Amino acid sequence: MAWRLSATSAYITGCAVSALGTGAVYPVNVIYLHLVRGLPVRFVGLSVFMSALAAIASAPAAGQLMARLGGRNVVVIALLVQAAGAAAMTAATTAAVAVAAMTVQGLGNGCFYAAQTPLVTEIAEGERRVRLLSLRYVVNNAGIGAGAVLGGLVIAACGPPGYLVVYLANSGSYLAYAAVLAAMPLTAFRRPGRPGPGLRGYARLLGVKRLRRLLLLQFLIVSFGFAQVDSSLPLYAKQHLHLSSPLIGAVISVNSALVVLLQVPATRWVSRRGPRAALRLLGAVWSLAMLTGVAAGLVPCVLAAGVLFVTIGVFSVGECLYTPAFSTELLDLAADQDVGRYAALASMTWTTALLIAPAFGIALVQLPWPSAYWLTLALGGLVVAALSAGTGPSREAHRAHPAGEPR
């Protein structure tokens, strides 16, 4: 038991350190490249696009490597690549270097996020895996938020050289996490096996109807939920509600704070009621949140901010259900030897949705009828709820069949 707690503590500590470093640079990448380094917007956009594309492309390779090397070793490799990319950002004085640095970071990100679930299966067993993934989500939210504040303070105190400090600190955080993982004892270690038949292995997995439905569900959840809160929602608040930037930032901060507060009880609820019920509830709650958002455009500006706070609060309740529900479904579906590939496909789906969906949301914001934005997102929530009815077995079947056993 002592070994298990040591592994869990080491993992969470590493996550916290890495999240602080990520949070320090995540909000300033575009500002740094465009305003500090003077790169044209088109090249800044290209660097961001290449980073996302590299993340999508590297996930399948990570899935293959995990079958041979294990989740921990792949995460360590990914962290070293991320560290190199973050350090290279300090030299991004030309478009070519900026695109290269962001691409390297994207390669590391794709491997890193694809390997998280397999790594957790090497640290914990049974339902503790899902609890640990949920705890990691909480730590990431808190760490990224704290890192953004610390990074902003450093940049405010140091001026342009402060950007170099935060990028080097980010690189150092990845190296620190890699060192922690390399020394961490594994309590549920599995002997690595053969990497499998390359891309044909992914084609075989995509032949599983339940996996296709689960990935489609994830794509919709990200497209109509997570991606819009990060991109189009702030634009809507500025363009249609005329809220100030600090007030918009406060709305987003409420989302992070509620996730930190509610994630643990939400995980317990999912454990009792099952992932299918949780995903259905997520869709219903998000539909309610988006319908509440309609009122923001119908009330005076003084009240619009309050309505938006309520909207993001309701959304946050549903968000807390996602990680434990989706992770339970994914682990329940995957055989031990295929966990890496399942996780790689999920990571690719997530990143693809984040790449595509913001343009869709921004187009909705530009429509002359502002309520169309909220009603479309509410419809997406209802589709998620309906699709969740067929994502997996009932709670009783989930208890009766161990993870990885064919159904």
Q: What is the 3-state secondary structure (H, E, C) of 164-212?
A: HHHHHHHHHHHHHHHHHHHHCCCCCCCCCCCCCCCHHHHHHHHCCHHHH
Tens digit of pLDDT at every position of the chain (407 positions): 344 447 888 889 989 999 999 888 877 888 889 888 998 988 888 998 899 899 999 988 888 888 788 889 999 999 999 999 999 999 999 999 999 999 999 999 999 999 988 888 888 887 788 889 899 989 988 888 888 888 888 988 998 899 999 999 999 999 999 999 988 877 655 555 555 555 666 777 778 888 999 999 999 999 999 999 878 888 888 888 888 877 887 887 888 889 989 999 999 999 999 999 999 999 999 999 999 999 988 888 778 889 999 999 999 999 999 999 998 898 888 766 678 888 889 999 999 998 899 889 989 988 888 899 999 999 999 999 999 876 554 443 444 333 333 33
The CA distance from 401 to 274, in Å, is 14
Beta-carbon contacts of 404 under 8 Å, excluding residues fewer than 6 positions away, are 334, 335, 336
Question: Residue 292 corresponds to which tokens in the numbers above?
Answer: 């509440």
Q: In 3-state terms, what secondary structure has residue 301?
A: helix
The residues, ordered by sequence, that sit 6+ positions from 203 with a Cβ below 8 Å of its Cβ are none
Token code pair at residue 38? 């003077």
| Angle between helix 275-294 and 371-388 (nearest 10) | 170
Q: How wide is the angle at C-alpha 279 spanned by C-alphas 54 and 325, nearest 5°?
A: 65
Which has the closest alpha carbon to 380: 218, 225, 233?
225
CA distance 66 to 175: 20
Structural domains in the chain, sorted by start = 2-186 (1.20.1250.20), 201-392 (1.20.1250.20)
Sign of CA dihedral 271, 225, 19, 146: negative
Predicted TM-score (pTM) of the model is 0.82
